Amino acid sequence: MGEYGSVLPEFEREEDLIAAAKHIARALGSKKNLTDDAKKILADLGSQLSNITIINEDKVERVSEIEERLNVVQEKIMSWESDQSVIWDSGPNEAAEYLNAADEARKLTEKLEALSLNKDDGEKELLRRAHDTLQIAMARLEEEFKHMLVQNRQPFEPEHVSFRSSEEDTADFSSVISLGDDSVEESMHRDSISRNSEDYIIDLVHPEVISELRCIANLMFISSYDHECSQAYINVRRDALDECLFILEMEKFSIEDVLKLEWGSLNSKIKRWVRAMKIFVRVYLASEKWLAEQILGEIGTVNLVCFTEASKASILQLLNFGEAVSIGPHKPEKLFPILDMYEVLADLLPDIDSLYSNEAGFCVRTDCREVLRQLGDSVKAAFHEFENAIATNVSPNPFAGGGIHHLTRYVMNYLNTLTDYRETLHFLLKDRDGEHRISLSPDNSPPGEEENASRNTYNASSMSLHFRSVASILECNLEDKAKLYRDPSLQQVFMMNNIHYMAQKVKNSELRHIFGDDWTRKHNWKFQQHAMNYERSTWSSVLSLLRDEGNSNSDSVSKTHLKERFRNFYLAFEEVYRTQTAWLIPDAQLREDLQISTSLKVIQAYRTFVGRNSNHISDKHIKYSADDLQNFLLDLFQGSQRSLHNPHRR
């Protein structure tokens, strides 16, 4: 340093450095050989160094003030550390004071960080104290935040939905043989879902504390304790969502657990899922998202993230159940419950998209669509199994009485119930096979239609195509079952009964819009053909005994022959009576029509025969009058076997 070396004292602090700089400036300024510019520079330097001194002195004063305020704030914050009670339970004033103290701790910390302290031991300690005080305040606010969220939770009471705790049965195809008509129709009655229930928001947390919760959240976020606040909110609301599912009776099942459930238990849980899903999404999740907006909505998009993270596990739990059901065995009895699941999920898809519109909700939106697709595939597979089950349904013995087979009742009621899902099935089955045209076979066409074969087509929707296909499969199965009867007449009665039932079921239900009028006309003609075939099969041989065989020259031979013909006719009639009173035509109108048609033919032939031969045979050989026979014919097809012992048995 030459001649100036003696003016530089030793220094360790910023103040020492400034003092040394001033000392050098004064020493240089006293030299006479300095230029005017050098003197000016040294003068400016001296002025700036004086200003630095002033600023430094001001900073010292500010640090001193901050330390004083920090002492007050720290005392307030620490006064609650040993107190186990809840601050917000101590009244609004105490809560406001604590919140203000925490906010001031934040501000003091920020001021200290902005002062660019020298980081000496005293200042380091002051900054550490400020950080510690803020951390303690934030930790306490986090606990208060969680406590208020939990203690002010509003009870969720879905009073608008009734949940059946008992297991509800659905018709099981494997036991279809034991089902009667009423039991089939009742068991297939669709469990209605209100698709137009009013959406509304409920208060999940008491409204009075919302503003307090919002203040705490805002303070924690601006104090850079956003993660702690978010995680506290997510954890508390996640527990609340779990409790909601518990109230809705939705248990946590793994896919393996669901696949192990017996059908009765699974069916009950599916029904509960269908009811719970709409309530959970449209009421609870909508309210949950609104709550997050009320508390966290002033802090960017954090409310959407927190809502998604809090609710994701619960909604995915519900979707996982849907996935498990969709991958299980595709039995026909599962079709209705799975359709309910598909429809409610498809109906809720816009709601779910709206609830989880942010990037964090992408996985929920994706999973929802995937489960919907899987349920749709399951519907198609179950319908296909329904067709297979009809085709492979085998009866070892003929159906007693030739009445309406349980399979016929089951299938037609099954199809009729499916009309409730018309739009869904049309969409899903179209995806399976596309649009088709169905041609009526000329062999099965009503007379007079063969020449119009080119017009004998039906532009069918996918649902119509598959329903007609099911009906055709059923008819083929019925034809096989009819062959189990040894009596050809009973075969015709059986087919007449079942085809008539199918036609009437279509005509008198929503199925008529799906099958079409041409199908109904064709099947009306079919059962009438079976009725005519019955008459021909049963009565042709009987009435042949009453045909005019020409005049005989021998009166004695003629009388003997007449007696034999009368006797044979009565024996044949009595055998028909004995046999066919046990046969059954359940439909009263069909039974009456066939009785009248038969009576017209039999009674007319009998009266003609008796009238033509009344002069050749005595009355004692005429066992029954025409009125007797007409009354006897009314006993046919009642399902209770009778025998004729004498003409006056009535």
Structural domain that includes position 227: 200-381
pLDDT for 550 equals 58
Helix (H) or strand (E) holding 218: helix 210-222
Mean pLDDT for 513-527 is 94
Q: Are residues 205 and 142 in the same domain?
A: no
- Mean pLDDT within 262-266: 90
User: Per residue in 165-175, pLDDT tens?
Assistant: 333 444 444 44
Distance (Å, whole) CA 518 – CA 512: 10
Are residue 249 and residue 125 in the same domain, yes or no?
no
In a domain, 395, yes or no: no
Number of domains in the chain: 3
Assess whether 358 and 473 both reside in one domain: no
Q: What is the pTM of this model?
A: 0.77
56-65, 262-271, 527-536, range with the lowest pLDDT = 56-65
Does 348 map to a domain? yes
The confidence score (pLDDT) of residue 650 equals 40
Please report the DSSP string for 395-460 in residue order: -SSPPGGG---HHHHHHHHHHHHHGGGHHHHHHHHHHHH--EEEEPPGGGSPTT-GGGGGG-EEEE
Q: What is the CATH number of the domain that holds 587?
A: 1.20.1280.170
What are residue 459's DSSP bridge partners?
437
Q: Is the pLDDT of residue 425 over 50?
A: yes
Q: Mean pLDDT highest for which of 46-50, 128-132, 432-436, 574-578?
A: 574-578
Which residue type does 179 have?
A: L
Do 23 and 125 belong to one domain?
Answer: yes
Q: Is residue 68 very low, low, confident or very high in pLDDT (cuts 50, 70, 90)?
A: confident
Q: What is the pLDDT of residues 12-40, one digit of tens each?
A: 455 555 555 555 656 655 555 656 666 56
For range 462-474, the mean pLDDT = 93
**Together in a domain, 344 and 223:** yes
Per-residue pLDDT, 75: 84
Closest CA to 277 of 167, 381, 158: 158
Give the model confidence (pLDDT) of 488-498 as tens digits: 999 999 999 99
Using CA of residue 561, residue 566, residue 572, residue 574, what is the dihedral sign?
A: negative
502-to-154, 484, 650 alpha-carbon distances in Å: 55, 21, 36
Q: Is the pLDDT of residue 447 over 80?
A: no
Spell out the residues 6+ positions from residue 643 whose beta carbon is closer than 8 angstroms to its own.
Answer: 574, 577, 578
Which has more confidence, 643 or 353? 353
Please write down the HEC assignment for all residues of 327-392. Answer: HCCCCHHHHHHHHHHHHHHHHHHHHHHHHCCCHHHHHHHHHHHHHHHHHHHHHHHHHHHHHHHHHC
pLDDT digit string, tens, across residues 588-632 = 999 999 999 999 999 999 999 888 887 777 777 889 999 999 999
User: pLDDT value at position 616?
Assistant: 77
Residue predicted with more confidence, 499 or 647: 499
**Does one domain contain both 344 and 418?**
no
Residues 263 and 312 in one domain: yes
What pLDDT is attached to residue 189?
A: 47
Q: Domain check: are 346 and 207 in the same one? A: yes
Look-up of token digits 């900073």 = 59
Alpha carbons within 13 angstroms on the beta-carbon side of residue 365 total 12
Average pLDDT, the chain: 81
Residue 228 lies in a domain: yes
Average pLDDT on 466-471 reads 94
Q: pLDDT class for 434, splitting at 50, 70, 90?
A: very low
Is the pLDDT at 127 greater than 60? The verdict is yes
In a domain, 5, yes or no: no
Tell me the per-residue pLDDT of 165-203, one tens digit each, with 9 for 90 and over: 333 444 444 444 344 444 445 445 444 433 333 457 899
Q: Residue 435 in contact with residue 462, Cβ under 8 Å?
A: yes
Q: Is 440 within a domain? A: no
Distance CA 194, CA 191 (A): 10
Percentage with pLDDT > 90 across the chain: 53
Is 258 a member of any domain?
yes
Task: For the chain, give the longest Cα–Cα distance.
Answer: 184
Contact (CB, 8 A) for 530 and 499: yes
Q: Please report which confidence band the pLDDT of residue 123 belongs to, taking 50, 70 and 90 as the band edges.
A: confident
Tell me which H or E stretch contains 122: helix 121-151
Is 140 in the same domain as 231? no
Check residue 165 and give its pLDDT.
Answer: 37
Are 610 and 535 contained in the same domain? Answer: yes
- Spatial separation of the C-alpha atoms in residues 139 and 135, rounded to whole Å: 6
Whether residues 569 and 620 share a domain: the answer is: yes
**Tokens read off for 179:** 């089902």
- What pLDDT, on the 0 to 100 scale, is given for residue 549? 65
pLDDT digits 0-9 by tens, 294-337: 999 888 889 999 999 999 999 999 999 999 999 988 889 899 99
Give the Cα separation of 553 and 182 in Å (integer): 63
What does the DSSP 8-state code read for residue 299?
A: S
Of 250-254, 273-277, 325-329, 546-550, which range is least confident? 546-550
Task: Say whether both 259 and 295 belong to one domain.
Answer: yes
How large is the average pLDDT for residues 266-275?
93
**334 part of a folded domain:** yes
Q: What is the mean pLDDT of residues 392-416?
A: 94
Whether the pLDDT of residue 411 is over 80: the answer is: yes
pLDDT of 286 reads 94
Report the alpha-carbon distance of residue 620 to residue 559 in Å, rounded. Answer: 13
| pLDDT number for residue 374 | 96
